[in-house]
């Protein structure tokens, strides 16, 4: 899949605003830097087998994390709105043509599906019980309705809303002011992927790249959230199906 093929699916929306360095951008960069450093430290510790055993994630942890993330994201959007009120729609927060934006998000998901699945298969030898996402470990240990519900809220609703705000709207939107679009998309995609750790970073890269391309060409926060949410929802559905039908 080439960039030209992707861009032919997503025609350029000329209504855009180049995001200058501001307080919301600073907060986003600080958050990304902390996550990036934490991910690299974790991978380094695992490589040298010095990683201390981590406590299992509980439903209470997910509830607390979801609430904190939601509040932080809401504050970021509020500050962004107040500081860029006249250009908020050009930053991607468009309330018109919602159905079209959702359709574009669904198309983005379909475009990402094949390369992501192919790379998942290629990285299968590197996967083990220890490399599973903490949510899936919790789901395996406690397959209750409350567990499924809070994982759904966190992974399918809050994570796409927050991560797309951080990585695409703020980080990539600011990078586009400093460098060519392809470079901005590439850097934001690489950082997004690496933060999620090995081996997930490999199959997540094409998803991140398509998300970045979709945001650059369509300038739609709704579209990229829909793409991300569908991807996480399918992952959760597959995990549930695998639990119900163990090999």
Domain ranges of the chain: 58-83+98-244
Is the pLDDT reported for residue 1 higher than 90?
no
**Average pLDDT in the 196-204 region?**
90
Instruction: Look up the pTM and report it.
Output: 0.91
Is the pLDDT reported for residue 246 higher than 60?
no
Q: What is the pLDDT of residues 23-52, one digit of tens each?
A: 999 999 999 999 999 888 887 777 766 655
Specify the pLDDT at position 244: 61
Q: What is the pLDDT of residues 139-153, one digit of tens each?
A: 887 888 888 999 999
Specify the pLDDT at position 5: 59
Specify the pLDDT at position 131: 65
pLDDT band at 132 (very low <50, low <70, confident <90, very high): confident
Between CA 224 and CA 105 the distance in angstroms is 6
Q: What percent of the chain has pLDDT over 70?
A: 91
3-state secondary structure 91-128: HCCCCCCHHHHHHHHHHHHHHHHHHHHHHHHHCHHHCC
């Amino acid at each position: 899949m080439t960039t030209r093929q992707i861009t032919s699916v997503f025609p350029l929306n000329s209504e855009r605003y180049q995001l200058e360095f501001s307080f919301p951008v600073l907060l986003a960069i600080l958050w990304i830097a902390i996550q990036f450093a934490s991910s690299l430290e974790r991978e380094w510790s695992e490589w040298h087998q010095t990683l201390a055993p981590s406590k299992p994630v509980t439903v209470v942890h997910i509830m607390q994390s979801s609430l904190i993330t939601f509040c932080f994201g809401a504050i970021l959007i509020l500050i962004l709105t107040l500081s860029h009120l006249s250009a908020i729609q050009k930053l991607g927060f468009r309330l018109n043509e919602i159905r079209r934006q959702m359709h574009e998000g669904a198309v983005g998901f379909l475009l990402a599906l094949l390369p992501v699945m192919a790379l998942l298969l290629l990285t299968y030898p590197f996967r083990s019980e220890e490399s599973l996402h903490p949510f899936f470990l919790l789901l395996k240990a406690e397959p209750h309705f409350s567990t499924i519900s809070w994982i759904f809220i966190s992974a399918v609703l809050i994570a796409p809303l927050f991560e797309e705000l951080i990585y695409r709207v703020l980080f990539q939107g600011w990078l586009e002011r400093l460098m060519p679009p392809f470079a901005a998309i590439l850097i934001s995609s690489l950082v997004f992927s690496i933060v999620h750790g090995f081996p997930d970073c490999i199959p997540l890269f094409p998803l991140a790249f398509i998300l970045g391309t979709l945001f650059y060409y369509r300038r739609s926060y709704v579209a990229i959230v829909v793409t991300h949410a569908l991807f996480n929802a399918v992952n959760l559905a597959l995990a549930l199906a695998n639990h119900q039908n163990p090999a």
